[in-house]
């Protein structure tokens, strides 16, 4: 009888582990590495990937202010899929290269959002040549029980580089090829 109980306990534990929600989602940039030219305005999405019951989040974002300037922060559509939210884009400090206190939270007694989607969209302008990491700090992620949701966080990188030399258009290559053929055939007729 003890052997049967042990088998049932093992089977129950196995089913419970398989049926348990995954707590190993991430918060990251939609693109981990971006290359832009000086003077370019662009946006980056901060996304939640494979999360379960995300009720609230908060973070600071840092970068090299000599390379980039933040121009705006807007809330994404992911958290509102679970209900009404209260969003604050935080305070942008372009001299220090930080957006401090970005957060969003669901309102009321409701389950958190699950799945993947955009949390925040941040607009930047590329100022000068160089590379900068985009780093998260002071990250808080909570489930609907207001417990740490256990999400991992991954930063990103932006490289501001000069534009590559313009490549010849396909028509230019064709004209050059026809010209070389004409020279070659023209040279053969003279022999």
Of 42-46, 62-66, 98-102, 184-188, the range with the lowest mean pLDDT is 184-188
Please tell me the predicted confidence (pLDDT) of residue 190: 55
CATH number of 23-158: 2.60.40.680
Q: How many other β-carbons are positioned within 10 Å of the β-carbon of residue 48?
A: 25
- Say what the pTM is: 0.72
Contact criterion met (CB below 8 Å) for 119 and 74: no
- CA dihedral (160, 151, 120, 47) in degrees, to 10, reads 70
Domain extent listing, the chain: 23-158
The CA distance from 158 to 46, in Å, is 14
Q: pLDDT tens digits, residue range 90-139?
A: 999 999 999 999 999 999 999 999 999 999 999 999 999 999 999 999 99
For residues 136-156, give the mean pLDDT.
94
Q: Residue 22, SS3?
A: coil
For residues 82-90, give the mean pLDDT.
97
pLDDT above 70: percentage of residues in the chain: 72
């Amino acid at each position: 009888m003890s052997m049967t109980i042990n088998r049932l306990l093992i089977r129950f534990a196995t089913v419970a582990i398989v049926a348990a929600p995954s707590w190993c989602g991430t918060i990251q940039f939609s693109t981990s590495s971006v290359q832009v030219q000086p003077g370019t305005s662009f946006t980056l999405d901060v996304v939640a990937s494979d999360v379960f019951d995300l009720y609230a989040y908060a973070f600071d974002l840092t970068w090299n202010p000599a390379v980039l300037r933040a121009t705006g922060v807007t809330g994404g559509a992911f958290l509102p899929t679970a209900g009404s939210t209260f969003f604050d884009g935080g305070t942008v400090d372009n001299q220090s290269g930080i957006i401090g206190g970005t957060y969003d939270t669901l309102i009321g007694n409701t389950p958190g959002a699950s799945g993947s989607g955009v949390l925040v969209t941040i607009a930047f302008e590329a100022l000068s040549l160089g590379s900068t990491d985009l780093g998260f700090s002071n990250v808080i992620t909570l489930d609907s029980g207001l417990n740490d949701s256990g999400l991992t966080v991954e930063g990103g990188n932006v490289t501001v580089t000069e534009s590559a030399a313009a490549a010849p258009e396909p028509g230019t290559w064709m004209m050059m090829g026809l010209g070389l053929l004409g020279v070659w055939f023209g040279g053969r007729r003279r022999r």
